[in-house]
Amino acid sequence: MKVKFLLLTALLGSSSLYAQKSACLTYDCAQMEVIKAHLVEGDTTLAPAWQALQKKADEALTHQPYSVTQKKLLPASGDKHDYYSFGPYWWPNPETKDALPYVRKDGQINPSSKTDDTDSKRMVQFSDDVRVLALAAFYRADKRYAQKAEVMLNTWFVNQQTRMNPNLNYAQAIPGRVNGRGIGIIDTRVLIDVADSIALLHYAGFLSDEQVQGYKHWYSAYTSWLLTSPNGQEEANWYNNHGAWYDTQVTAFSLFSGNKKQADQQIEVFKHRHLISQINSNGELSAELERTRSFHYSNFALAAYARMGRYGEQTGNDVWNFQLDSRTTKSAFAFISSQVGKPASEWQYPELKYTPEEAIGPMLAAARAYKDATFVQSVDILRKVDAKNINLLTPGSALVR
């Protein structure tokens, strides 16, 4: 009974004791306070997830701060402060002597796109470390984790010698084809998690208003670039998860930097331009089901939808219950829920690497939003598959890598 009580409390309810506190950004901090109280009381339900997170946070304490200036290669600008990455699914051309131009192999990641030569791997590591440090600082009330996170944040965003320029002009370049693409903007989805970490550390009293304002300034500048640059406009027009994640970034970064009006406007764009156009009457995300990793990308898109649902809660613009004709937000989550607990053989679409636990973030989000027994059951099934999953400690935010 205690296991079920903890899950239902954390997923579906908020403690009235904290109802007047800040809602943070994507995280539901009121529900996190409930989880924290249970952890303090010694409840073992979430012990595997907490122990896994604490181990990663302890490892992060030993890591050096990350900076875009550490890369070995330079973008076309020649400025080491500009973020630079290669397209992950592009490979050397086997039919040419110089291997150019690169050719695409969908779903197959070129290992060279994930080295320290460029910034893609580094930014993910930065986001991962800041995330676990902030969560450990909050759940353990330990300033060591917060202080380490602050050093990393200052290095990435503020220090003039190491900071990243607020643009993605040179993201996901393709050797022999283009110096950078709008599609590369999906790389900075991980900076939503960083903004969540900043908000959480501020909420918990580890960061001052002045410190947070410096980070908000960077995010505001980057949001302006997203909205006005050719690359930003290109990414905004994508019909699949790329368009949804573009909307999610603009909305999250606008809220974080204090522009609620802009966030609400982007939610409206998302609802009518991307959300409903991507969901069919069966709840399927057609553009994702065409991919070679259809289950992964369906959940990846739902992670964006879940975050937009959370931001709609904060602006009073309901995403969770939005519908048009026979297409609804809920049906997309229900479609994945119907697969939970079934073998890979019952997933009728292409999938190179079927990983059932990828659905845990979206299912947690759906359970929290809809308070539906079907989603709660899906969470319980997936929790038994992956009891260490970090999503169990971050209500409000769905993480699918």
* Residue 264: domain span: 1-45+243-401
Q: Is residue 232 part of a domain?
A: yes
Average pLDDT of every residue of the chain: 93
Last residue of a domain, one of 178, 209, 237: 237
Residue 19 has pLDDT above 50, yes or no: no
- Distance from C-alpha of 237 to C-alpha of 254, rounded to nearest angstrom: 19
What average pLDDT does this structure show over 17-42?
81
Are residues 218 and 257 part of one domain?
no
- Decide which of 194, 222, 237 is a domain's last residue: 237
Task: State the pTM of this model.
Answer: 0.92
d(Cα 68, Cα 52) in Å, to the nearest integer?
Answer: 28
Structure tokens at 51: 């122990």
The residue behind tokens 């989805």 is 189
Q: Distances from the Cα of 41 to the Cαs of 11, 248, 329, 389, in angstroms?
A: 18, 36, 37, 21
Structurally, how many domains does the chain consist of?
A: 2
CA-to-CA separations, 52 to 46, 125, 357, in angstroms, rounded? 10, 16, 16
Same domain, 110 and 185: yes
Four-CA torsion 60, 66, 72, 78, nearest 10 degrees: 160
Residue 342, in any domain of the structure: yes
CB atoms closer than 10 angstroms to residue 304: 28
- CATH classification at residue 146: 1.50.10.100
Is 395 in the same domain as 365?
yes
User: Is residue 59 situated within a structural domain?
Assistant: no
38 shares its domain with 84 = no
Q: Are residues 77 and 217 in the same domain?
A: yes
Q: What is the residue type of 50? A: W
Residue at which a domain ends, from 180, 212, 237:
237
Q: Do 256 and 224 share a structural domain? A: no
Q: Which residues contact 378 (CB under 8 A, 6 or more apart)?
A: 337, 340, 341, 359, 363, 366, 367
Q: Are residues 227 and 272 in the same domain?
A: no
The Cα–Cα gap between 134 and 111 comes to 29
Express each pLDDT in 322-365 by its tens digit.
999 889 999 999 999 999 999 999 999 999 999 999 999 999 99
The CA distance from 184 to 180, in Å, is 7
In a domain, 51, yes or no: no
State which H helix or E strand residue 302 sits in: helix 294-315
Tens-place pLDDT, residues 32-90 = 999 999 999 988 899 999 999 999 999 999 999 999 999 998 888 999 999 999 888 88
Per-residue model confidence as pLDDT tens digits over 246-265: 999 999 999 999 999 999 99
Instruction: Determine the pLDDT at residue 245.
Output: 98
More confident residue, 128 or 17: 128
Output the pLDDT for position 13.
52
291 domain residue, yes or no: yes
**Confidence class for position 7, pLDDT limits 50, 70, 90:** low
pLDDT of residue 76: 87
Examine residue 75 and say whether the peptide bond preceding it is cis (omega within 30 degrees of 0). Answer: no
Q: Same structural domain for residues 72 and 142?
A: yes
Claim to verify: residue 28 and residue 73 sit in the same structural domain:
no
Helix segments in 115-179, DSSP class H: 120-140, 143-157
Tell me: pLDDT of 194 over 60: yes
Query: If you search the block for the tokens 């393709």, which residue do you land on?
Result: 174
Tell me, yes or no, whether 209 and 332 share the same domain. no
**3-class SS letters over 122-137:** HHHHHHHHHHHHHHHH
Q: What is the pLDDT of residue 20?
A: 38
Can you tell me the distance from the alpha carbon of 45 to that of 11, in angstroms, rounded to the nearest whole number? 13
pLDDT in tens, 285-303: 999 999 999 999 999 999 9
In a domain, 52, yes or no: no
Contact 183, 172 (CB under 8 A): yes
Q: Are 340 and 378 in contact (CB under 8 A)?
A: yes
More confident residue, 268 or 5: 268
pLDDT value of residue 292 = 94
The larger pLDDT score, comparing residue 11 to residue 229, is at: 229
Residue 79 maps to a domain: yes
Please say if the pLDDT value at position 108 is more than 70.
yes
Percent of the chain scored above 70 by pLDDT?
A: 94
The residue among 274, 291, 289 whose CA lies nearest residue 235 is 274
Considering the domain architecture, whether residues 247 and 369 belong to the same structural domain is answered as: yes
Q: Are residues 361 and 342 in the same domain?
A: yes
Is-contact 267 312, C-beta < 8 A?
yes
Domain membership of residue 327 (yes or no) is yes
